[in-house]
Amino acid sequence: MKPIDLALPGVKALTPYQPGKPISELERELGITNIVKLASNENPLGPSPKALEAIVAGLKDLHLYPDGSAFALRQALANHLNVSPNQITLGNGSNDVLEMVARTFLSDSSEALFSEHAFAVYPIVTQASGAKGVVAPCHDGSQGPKYGHNLDAFQQRITPNTKIVFIANPNNPTGTFLGRESLYRFLLNLPDHCLAVIDEAYFEYVDNDDYSNAVEWLNELPNLIVTRTFSKAYGLAALRVGYAVSSPEIADLLNRVRQPFNTSSLAQDAARAALSDRNYLELSIAINNQGLKQLEQAFRQRGLEYIPSVGNFITFDVGRLATSVYEALLHEGVIVRPIANYGLPNHLRVTVGNQDQNRVFIQALDRVLGL
């Protein structure tokens, strides 16, 4: 027997997650420098100086295992979120937390539900656990924001086997979000054999009165799991720290499958420092708001349709298959993200960079599109 025949059925059919192209890879391939990468929703500000200080201070202890329970970071997060430390589960990125949720609750007799064009990790962790992924079509623009999650379509697809509903709020790669009232009502009506994961990876960036903070609903909704990350607004993508906030009961279950040392000591210390750095977070958000305006204006001026975004990225329509535009941008030294694997073959997703990076991207796009 070949190894592929020995693999679990869910694993056999898996396609690995496709990350944004690393700068070093493009340098190797094309022999160019001064590359602008706007492909992975990374923070253009660089890391918080406080996080860097914490890392330097922690280097002398590299021979020691980290605190597997991450006492100090969980305490800091608990204070920050006004919950108890036993409601927090840390992950090696929130990806790790999503996988823990799938491993804890899904089997080959269960279903997980997520939206069309939703974050790619939901189908991957679902399929790897042997469960069936069910896709709810997104809004077509008549009842809610085009490409946004359609909660009526979710509702209609809940069966007695549905164990998890994954909701990205806001969603990547569409940048759409759900209004507070409709999301709350949907969660309230969820049957009790069903858990809801609200993925708030871009929470800190969202500036809209109709946006919710799902952590506030945890006392009322025992089946709720909220995930967040230090990879985006807190600028620590390389260190891999994310977390779930849930009931203590769910946290206890997730902790049973969690690898004992899944976050490193440097990551824990840096995350705690970044959490305390209010100036850094405010500057991140301000740069993002400016950049969103800059990019939206550029798309409008050029007659390029884009999906209005509340995150740190924008997805825009190039009006034809986007692969050649993506490739041509690479030759201009600009890396964006093709999203055909999200069912959006004519769109590209660009991360909001700083003003200079955005300008380089816009100028490269003009050359590539002949504008």
Q: Name the residues that contact ligand PLP, by CB under 6 A.
A: 41, 93-95, 119, 168, 172, 199, 201, 229, 231-232, 237, 242
Min separation Cβ 237 and ligand PLP, Å: 6
Min separation Cβ 344 and ligand PLP, Å: 15
Instruction: Calculate helix-pair angle for 23-30, 323-331, nearest 10 degrees.
Output: 80
Min separation Cβ 42 and ligand PLP, Å: 9
Structure tokens that stand for 22 in this block: 């690393």
Which region holds residue 225: left if phi is over 0, alpha if psi is between -120 and 50, else beta? beta
Min separation Cβ 225 and ligand PLP, Å: 13
Min separation Cβ 64 and ligand PLP, Å: 25
Among residues 330, 370, 342, which one has the least CA distance to residue 35?
A: 330
Position 281, amino acid = L
CA distances from 316 to 97, 140, 325, 351 (A): 30, 16, 12, 11
Nearer Cβ to ligand PLP (243/306): 243
Nearer Cβ to ligand PLP (93/291): 93
d(Cα 213, Cα 203) in Å, to the nearest integer? 8
The answer to whether residues 263 and 240 touch, using CB atoms and an 8 Å cutoff, is yes
Nearer Cβ to ligand PLP (172/265): 172
Nearer Cβ to ligand PLP (110/227): 227
Min separation Cβ 260 and ligand PLP, Å: 19
Min separation Cβ 204 and ligand PLP, Å: 12
DSSP state, residue 227: E
Nearer Cβ to ligand PLP (267/295): 267
- Helix/strand number for the chain, H first, E second: 14, 13
Nearer Cβ to ligand PLP (242/333): 242
d(Cα 261, Cα 362) in Å, to the nearest integer? 43
Instruction: Please give the distance of CA 258 from its chain centroid, rounded to a whole number.
Output: 20
d(Cα 147, Cα 251) in Å, to the nearest integer? 32
Q: Residue 67 contacts by C-beta under 8 Å, 6 or more apart in sequence?
A: 265, 268
Nearer Cβ to ligand PLP (229/288): 229
Structure tokens that stand for 10 in this block: 């869910």
Min separation Cβ 96 and ligand PLP, Å: 7
CB-nearest residue to ligand PLP: 93
Nearer Cβ to ligand PLP (212/362): 212
Q: Residue 293 contacts by C-beta under 8 Å, 6 or more apart in sequence?
A: none
